[in-house]
Amino acid sequence: MSRSPNAQRLVPCMPPLLEEETIPLSRSAGDTRFGGTACEFAVKNYFLSKCINIAEPHVDVGVDLLIEKPKEGWVRGQVKKVVYQLDRDEGIFKRSGREVYRSRFNFFFQGGGKMVSGTNTRSQKTPKDFDYFYHVLLTSHRQLIWETPVNIIPTRENGTFVQGKTPCLDRDNWKRKPADIDFNKYLVYHRYDPIIFKTYPDFFLKPEPQTLENFFA
């Protein structure tokens, strides 16, 4: 099948997850609450390690953190956990009938929210509610943080954020049209355990610069 002339080659921003990293926390046992809190602490530690002051609102209005960013002053941050799933590639299935499963990483901009006035309408957030989203991928062997300003996040016709995005993080791929958000640009922190370096050493090797000698060889 011919590739669109507008297709872009995506560069992965991390190596694939190890099998033990794909095991989700138990929702029935309430373990997901610990995961969310751990993500908030990861963002706090990131800023404190950079000597940037943080605070927490005394009243819960949906803002997780206040951050005293240099040159910006105090800004509102919302922390979201990146959720991993293994899903069937519906494009391949529709074209060929083959079942191919690929990793999927959910970057949510909306939460479950609360029921409003007894209807099915849930509270949806807009760019007026926050200044930055901090998405955290936290596993037993890695920790990554993305800082995304709200002014680049797509919104619906009513001005609320879209539910989320599912960028390709762990493999090179072709994208038929430019992504709304290039999450590679907004990755501000990453830490890997030694086992990741041992398992995927080529990922961390920088390509050698091309020279005339290499060209003629």
The three-state secondary structure class of 47 is helix
* Beta-bridge mates of residue 66: 55, 76
**pLDDT > 80? residue 189:** yes
**pLDDT > 90? residue 159:** yes
Dist CA 97 CA 42 (whole Å): 42
Pairing of the two strands 73-81 and 132-138: parallel
**pLDDT > 90? residue 114:** no
Specify the pLDDT at position 5. 57
Confidence band of 119 (pLDDT split at 50, 70, 90): very low
Dist CA 55 CA 47 (whole Å): 11
Q: Which two tokens stand for residue 123?
A: 């509270």
Chain segment 35-83, per-residue pLDDT in tens: 889 999 999 999 999 999 999 999 888 899 999 999 999 999 999 999 9
Specify the pLDDT at position 122. 64
Note whether 112 and 97 are within 8 A (CB): no
What is the value of pTM for the model shown? 0.83
Specify the pLDDT at position 120. 35
Alpha helices in the chain (DSSP H): 31-49, 90-96, 194-199, 212-216
Chain segment 11-37, per-residue pLDDT in tens: 789 999 999 999 887 766 667 778 889
Q: Which two tokens stand for residue 16?
A: 């694939």
Comparing 120 with 169, which gets the higher pLDDT?
Answer: 169
Nearest to 174 by CA among 22, 1, 16: 1
- The DSSP annotation for 29-46 comes to TTHHHHHHHHHHHHHHHH
Dist CA 204 CA 117 (whole Å): 52
Domains delineated in the chain = 8-216 (3.40.1350.10)
